[in-house]
Chain A
């Protein structure tokens, strides 16, 4: 299987702080990769470098073998890369349905087509399916800002899938989500992975969630990858245990 995402020697410096310090890894088509590490180890910064949110100090990112370093986030998204942020990011004054249509509309037709064409950009049916799929049906016409934290989190994740991305980077999707919903979320992600062949990279502190969901895990500490492998291997790795327990 070929690599969808190749990360080559990414570095990110904030003043004197080297938040990401030469990270390289590959993600193959259809994989679900977990990215774990202590607070402040550079996980979110790494995501932001991959996704064009930050300009990396050094290193390259390849998508399907093409160099995409320096592209803006919107360009990467239109190439089929979806994401969520660590902090919840929905559009509070739009309804759930409007949030989802917004998440897909820039993938439909041309700029002028979006001005003169249908108000829903032809996405009503897809929005409806996504709403059903993420079990938000009774909330379709509620303003996103009025939803509970967990519901907004689900919406946030759902938005990342509206445009049918091939690769999705999720930054702590399980944070603040209750246990029942958590199992549900995991099942949703596995279904998208299986049925649409979507590839995931997931940052998560909830070990149970990560270990159950991911086929491979990368461990970041102080901006470097210190371990990589199957969930049960990583769990027993002394370097990982040390990084988590402190020195």
Chain B
């Protein structure tokens, strides 16, 4: 019954999204598509950081790896489908390699390793002009075509991205609810106990990095044809930090968190356009406020408000019980 309702809500949301471009202008449709692409990459960060409890400051680098892979392959005449999976596959393999340090170091040290990787990828993109065009970037990246029809029009491309994002979201939902998801959560909560219960901590850690990074690669493969021109800037360290921030702001370890976090990250600059260079300052202040008052992110905040509204009495009881150190019956 409850899961039936949840599915209905998801269906309505997807339908509303699918209809949204009909009432929106060209630029708004572009922003909406950018939000979906950003959310896909953030889903990957949420798997690595929110579910598996690791650290990554490299998601923008994987976005770059995916973007350049798919753009270069498209220019070489490779069909989009193939380029898309190549972008995900390469990111999966590199993500696996990035996971190895995580077997030895944790927390800040791990963050530094991924940070170094991020800088490395950015330098490669900027300096290897023969391949990537360097700071001049790659121009005129073609949007794919489907059944002979070009997806050049903004609305068509949005629907195309929506379908792929929906499939990737479903795959992630399946993953985190499967026994693998339970094992990832166990890594986060207590890796030593998990290992003693037969959970191959090394293997699951590597898989979390590989799959999470592959989502960055997939997002990159969608990003390149969306913007039609790529240069090194969006794949630098700063954007990687923003991806981590999105997950934290949305609600680390909550399934909807990345969508909310990505919406804030994509829409806020638009809304705060009047503030110009103060935009990051306002964003930072909001993040600090939220971390102080609601560390579970916007999704956690919404959940709290919702349950307050629905059953104020029960909540008070629960809080009271917790204060007395009693277990709930």
Partner-contacting stretch, out of B54-62, B174-182, B302-310: B174-182
Contacts A91-B190, A115-B180, A119-B178 hold; do A74 and B196 have CB atoms under 8 A apart?
Answer: yes
CA distance A139 to B189 in the complex (A): 20
Inter-chain contact A102/B197, CB cutoff 8 Å: yes
Q: Is B106 an interface residue (CB 8 A)?
A: no
- Closest residue of chain A to B203 (Cβ to Cβ) is A111
Q: Does A92 contact B (CB under 8 A)?
A: yes
Interface pair A77/B178, CB less than 8 Å apart: no
Determine the distance from Cα of A119 to Cα of B3 in the docked complex, in whole angstroms: 15
The chain A residue sitting closest to B197, CB to CB, is A103
When C-beta atoms are compared, the residue in chain A nearest to B178 turns out to be A115
Asked if residues A115 and B190 are in contact (CB atoms below 8 Å), the reply is no
Determine if B327 and A102 form an interchain contact, defined as CB atoms under 8 angstroms apart.
no
Q: Does B311 contact A (CB under 8 A)?
A: no
Interface flags, A52-83, vs B, CB<8A=1, else 0: 01000000000000000000111001100001
Verify A106–B193 contact, CB threshold 8 A: no
B200 touches A115 (CB 8 A): no
B201 proximal to A (CB < 8 A): yes
Tell me whether B186 is interfacial, beta carbon within 8 Å: yes
CB-defined contacts of B105 to chain A, threshold 8 Å: none
Are B198 and A94 closer than 8 Å at their CB atoms? no
Bound form: Cα–Cα A91–B199 in Å: 13
Provide the residues of chain B in CB contact with A105, threshold 8 Å.
Answer: 179, 182-183
A85 within 8 A of B: yes
Q: Which of B177, B186, B190, B195 contacts A73 (CB 8 A)?
A: B195
Query: Is B104 an interface residue when CB atoms closer than 8 A count as contact?
Result: no
Take A85-B196, A159-B197 as given contacts and tell me if A102 and B182 are in contact as well, using a CB distance cutoff of 8 Å.
yes
For the complex, give the distance between the alpha carbons of A94 and B185 in Å. 9
Within B77-98, the residues touching A (CB, 8 Å) are none
| A7 → chain B closest CB, angstroms | 18
Interface size on A, residues (CB 8 A): 40
- Give the residue of A91, A106, A115 whose beta carbon is less than 8 angstroms from that of B175: A115
Q: Is the CB of A83 within 8 A of B196?
A: yes
Given A74-B200, A77-B198: A138 and B329 interface contact (C-beta under 8 Å) = yes
Q: Which residues of B have CB within 8 Å of A73?
A: 195-196
CA–CA, A72 and B192, complex, Å:
11
Q: Which of A10-18, A145-153, A213-221 lies at the interface with chain B?
A: A145-153
Q: In the complex, A102→B189 CA distance in Å?
A: 12
Most buried by A among B183, B186, B202: B186
Q: Which residue of B lies closest to A93 (CB)?
A: B189
**In the complex, which residues of chain A have a beta carbon less than 8 angstroms from the beta carbon of B185?**
91, 93-94
Cβ-defined contact, A102 with B186, below 8 A: yes
Does A4 sit at the interface, judged by CB under 8 A?
A: no
Is the C-beta of A234 less than 8 angstroms from some C-beta in chain B? no
Q: A106 to B180, Cβ gap below 8 A?
A: no
Q: How far is the CB of B162 from chain A (nearest CB, A)?
A: 25
On chain B, the residues within 8 Å of A98 by CB distance are: 182
- Looking at the complex, which one of B180, B182, B190, B195 makes contact with A72 (CB distance below 8 Å)? B195
Q: Is the CB of B186 within 8 A of A147?
A: no
Chain A residues with Cβ below 8 Å from B329 are 138
Cα-based distance from A107 to B183 in the complex (angstroms): 13
Interface centre among A77, A83, A107, A147 (most CB of B within 10 A): A77
Answer whether residue B2 sits at the interface, using C-beta atoms and an 8 A cutoff.
no
**A-chain residues with CB within 8 Å of residue B193 when the two chains form the complex:** 85, 89-91
Given A91-B190, A93-B189, A94-B189, A106-B198 contact (CB < 8 Å):
yes
Closest to A121 in B: B179
Q: How far is the CB of B186 from chain A (nearest CB, A)?
A: 6
Q: Does A51 contact B (CB under 8 A)?
A: yes
In Å, the complex CA distance between A89 and B191 comes to: 10
CA distance A83 to B196 in the complex (A): 7
Residues of A within 8 A of B198 (CB): 74, 77-78, 106-107, 163
B residues in contact with A90, CB < 8 Å? 190, 193
Q: Does A114 sit at the interface, judged by CB under 8 A?
A: yes
A142 on the B face (CB < 8 A): yes
Please measure, in the bound complex, the distance between the C-alpha atom of A51 and the C-alpha atom of B199, giving whole angstroms.
Answer: 14
Q: Specify which chain B residues have a CB less than 8 angstroms from the CB of A102 in the assembled complex.
A: 179, 182-183, 186, 194, 197, 199
- Do A119 and B179 contact each other (CB < 8 Å), given the known contacts A83-B196, A85-B196? yes
Between A72, A78, A91, A114, the greatest number of chain B beta carbons within 10 A of the residue's beta carbon is seen for: A91
Which of A91, A114, A147 meets B189, CB within 8 Å?
Answer: A91
The residue on A at minimum CB distance from B189 is A91
Give complex CA distance A77, B192 in Å.
12
Q: Does A19 have its Cβ within 8 Å of any Cβ on chain B?
A: no
CA of A216 to CA of B114 in the docked complex: distance in angstroms?
A: 52
**13 A-B residue pairings within 8 Å (CB atoms):** A74-B195, A74-B197, A74-B200, A85-B196, A89-B193, A90-B190, A90-B193, A91-B186, A94-B189, A102-B197, A116-B178, A119-B179, A147-B327
Which residues of B are in contact with A by a Cβ distance under 8 Å? 175, 177-180, 182-183, 185-186, 189-190, 192-203, 327-329
Question: Besides the contacts A51-B196, A85-B192, A90-B193, what 12 more A-B pairs have beta carbons closer than 8 Å?
Answer: A72-B200, A77-B197, A91-B190, A93-B189, A101-B179, A102-B197, A105-B183, A108-B179, A114-B180, A146-B327, A146-B328, A163-B198
Closest 5 pairs between A and B when the two form their complex, measured CB to CB: A106-B198, A77-B198, A89-B193, A114-B179, A91-B189
